[in-house]
């Protein structure tokens, strides 16, 4: 009669459902799932932070590239202006190749 749970035993117990093996197993599974959820949430937060950092880095890199392109365009325009009297009077400094 050791395995039999009586009403009197359940009434005296502070945790009556723990008397049932199935309930104890389910409770353990729920606890394991909660731990897994917290681990997954921590990993998700870590990956989200890394993604934000990479996104910010690419944004900064893009800004730098756009600025550099602007600088190069201004330098080329300045160089062309110093070689020529005006934009339409400038002769090309390169010689075309023989094209067939």
pLDDT for position 92: 58
For residue 47, tell me if it sits in a domain.
Answer: yes
For residue 44, tell me if it sits in a domain.
Answer: yes
Please give the Cα distance from 100 to 96 (Å, whole number): 12
For residue 92, tell me if it sits in a domain.
Answer: no
Percent of the chain with pLDDT over 90: 50
pLDDT for position 36: 97
Token pair recorded at residue 20: 């049932």
For residue 90, tell me if it sits in a domain.
Answer: no
Please give the Cα distance from 43 to 30 (Å, whole number): 20
pLDDT for position 47: 97
pLDDT for position 82: 82
Please give the Cα distance from 77 to 80 (Å, whole number): 5
For residue 68, tell me if it sits in a domain.
Answer: yes
pLDDT < 50 regions, the chain: 1
Tell me the whole-structure pTM to 2 decimals.
Answer: 0.51
For residue 76, tell me if it sits in a domain.
Answer: yes
What is the overall mean pLDDT for the chain?
Answer: 82
Q: Which domain holds residue 66?
A: 17-83
For residue 43, tell me if it sits in a domain.
Answer: yes
pLDDT for position 83: 75
Please give the Cα distance from 43 to 77 (Å, whole number): 51
Tell me how many domains the chain contains.
1
pLDDT for position 1: 45
């Amino acid at each position: 009669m050791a395995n039999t749970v009586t009403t009197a035993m359940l009434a005296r117990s502070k945790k009556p459902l723990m008397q049932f093996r199935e309930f104890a197993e389910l409770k353990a599974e729920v606890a394991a799932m909660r731990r897994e959820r917290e681990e997954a949430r921590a990993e998700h937060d870590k990956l989200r932070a890394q993604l934000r950092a990479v996104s910010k880095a690419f944004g900064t890199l893009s800004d730098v590239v756009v600025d550099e392109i602007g600088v190069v365009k201004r330098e080329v325009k300045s160089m062309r202006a110093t070689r020529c009297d005006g934009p339409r009077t400038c002769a090309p400094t390169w010689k075309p190749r023989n094209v067939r």
